[in-house]
Structure 1
Amino acid sequence: MSQLPNHKVPRLGTAGEKYRERNLVHQLPAQDLALTHCRHVAGEHQRAFRDFIEARNDIALDVGFVRELNHSSECRKCQRVIRHGELAVIAPRFGDVTWHPACFVCHTCDQLLVDLTYCVYDEEIYCERHYAQQLKPRCAACDELIFSGEYTKAMNKDWHSGHFSCWQCDESLTGQRYVLRDDHPYCIKCYENVFANTCDECNRLIGIDSKDLSYKEKHWHEACFLCNKCRMSLVDKQFGSKAENIYCGPCYDAQFATRCDGCGEIFRAGTKKMEYKTRQWHEKCFACCVCQTPIGTKSFIPREQEIYCTGCYEEKFATRCIKCDKIITTGGVTYKQQPWHRECFTCTNCNTSLAGQRFTSRDEKPYCADCFGELFAKRCTACTRPITGIGGTRFISFEDRHWHNDCFICATCSNSLVGKGFITDASDILCPDCAKQRLM
């Protein structure tokens, strides 16, 4: 037993015990051993049954035994060596041939031969069941050997003539048409009653001799698959459905088809449709309104009721620089409600970029602070530098002369005269006190 797989060792209360019991029933079926266990061997065939049993027992059936080898030998199944002193199975009908205990299996089912019981056929070992099936057909229904000359072959199996019957009503199918469903045979009547669909048009069953045409869980006879309006056959034709009814292409289009927002024609059944929001087009009509190039799956830009490809949209609507007239794609500047590229928005005099810089304008043209001061600003009478006013710089004017606030000081004491009285003396400005001293 130690030579066998553990789950096949028949110890009490183990899986091995159940394995042996299953093999015992399967490999040595009672109906193959004695007539008393058979229910379907007719009287005229009982002699043939007994002769078969006697011949099997005389020339094929035997029981093997286990012994310790006194010499090395080769296992007949796996061809590996069974060494001197190891256990081996001997089958007397094969002479001195040996097997490992785990290799002594049926040639057909490859299961251990229960209790070492075997049969020989054509130089191979079989369990009793599969030995019998080398010589006699076995009924797939009752599992008995068939000794009559007539029997039914169906579904790649053998059957007593009366045992090949409908799975539903148990009526014999021998010589009758039948239908297989889930590996079970059904007579025509039962199959149609149980499995056949009902025609949505005429409400009769769709038998096995009729084509069953289906669409969305509905079924029709081939002759009933008709347009709901004009009654034309829809077999092998395009059709549409609406409110659980089916229609031929022309009828469906006439009643239900939507129209293309491009050409105004209807969408016929089966036509590819391009949709955007609430609008829809034929594939060829979904095109740029300027260049007429089909959009397909490319990017597009809608504007009011028109569709534009990106190139035409930019050409027609994109913001352009007031200076170079090229499209502004990123980082533009707006000046006096007009767009500029950042690099185009420069001082009119020195061409320095004004983007992000302080600037002012003259005659609608922009200037940087330095250029504006040099070109147009008043000059301080005291320091001669431009008075630009940019950033809030304050200045004082008097008789066509101008001063920065910081430069408007007494020529003698240098005190600020902003907001105070002052006296002019030629080109100088003086506070009252200094003016008195100068005049005295």
Structure 2
Amino acid sequence: MELNSGMQKMSILHQTRKESPCSACRGMCKTFEPHAWRKICKSCKCNQEDHSLNSDAEDDRKIGRLLADSKYSNLTARVKGGDGVRIYKRNRMIITNPIVTKKDPTFDTVTYEWAPPGLTQKLAIHYMEFIPKEMQPISGTEGAYYRRRQLMRQLPVYDQDPFQCHALSESEVKSMEELVRKYKSDSLGVGEVALPGQVGSAKDEANQKQKAEATAQFTNGKVAKGKPQDDPASTNGTLAEAQPKNEYHCELCKQAVSTESPVVYGERAGYDRLWHPACFLCTRCSEPLVDLIYFWKSGKLLCGRHYCDSEKSRCIACDELIFSEDYIESKGLTWHKKHFCCVECEQPLLGKSFELEQAKLLCTSCYKSIKKM
């Protein structure tokens, strides 16, 4: 696969007109007409994710960039000739079931556009059974569309790549790059699916073995004086907590978890916590964390969008994070000062009266016109 090195800097802000019907308009808006800086369609005023613009390849490049240079880079692959670009090694799952009839045998093929990696097909299918049917990412269904929409909503590309943002200054670019380094180092995670008690222990046992071998080599088989051996029960990720026990409970709903049912672990949360597949949700929006990608902060699971919102203010108009002090705050909402204008007529509203309708900023004249309709 070949990628032009400039593609990673190609901005979504200047997309050409695309034939992509809006799901929110129920077919009334059949084409996406990009606004110059808002993340909306000029025609119907709906968000770009309602038009589902990204292709699979674009999504895989975005997630590859997110996971690159993090402890989860093993889920990415380097693109040949791509100047270091990495793409997401998305795990698809294809299930083929024979259809028994009196005629020639036929087969029913079901393709999941994403499935938890590293599992047997039996366990992966069992995991999917715990996800609401309408959210299962089966190709060609509403569940697959829902996944793509959540990839855009929860992990906006302009929260990780300054080249996808609208006219950042040099200092703002540096601030954004620092934020990205921070969350990749301290907060970004990818959930792991396993049966209760069967994920952290294997990893910790391997780590303990490596530590023991290194210590033995350093001390020639003897324990060094003044250097007590690590207590296996006190390690981070905690071997003791990951060992099988009699009863497990979901971190969210607090209900008991069967030892025969797959659960989700978050390494950053520690292997003493686990979640039902349907309970692995963002604490802020209560939406399932797409592809199990989460951000861990202050003991809570967050999607990428709401983690970034907890670090920086977000402009209601352009949907980008604000890295300068030149912004306006009103009624708990924030705008870049240059974006404080009417969503309908684009009239600047600094020092003028305005109305807020479902977080949309309107001048008085447009607000009255809408109310009369």
Alignment TM-score, normalising by the size of structure 2: 0.49
Q: Which has more radius of gyration? A: 1
Alignment TM-score, normalising by the size of structure 1: 0.42
Higher strand share: 1
Which of 1 and 2 has higher RCO (CA within 8 Å, sep 6+)?
Answer: 2
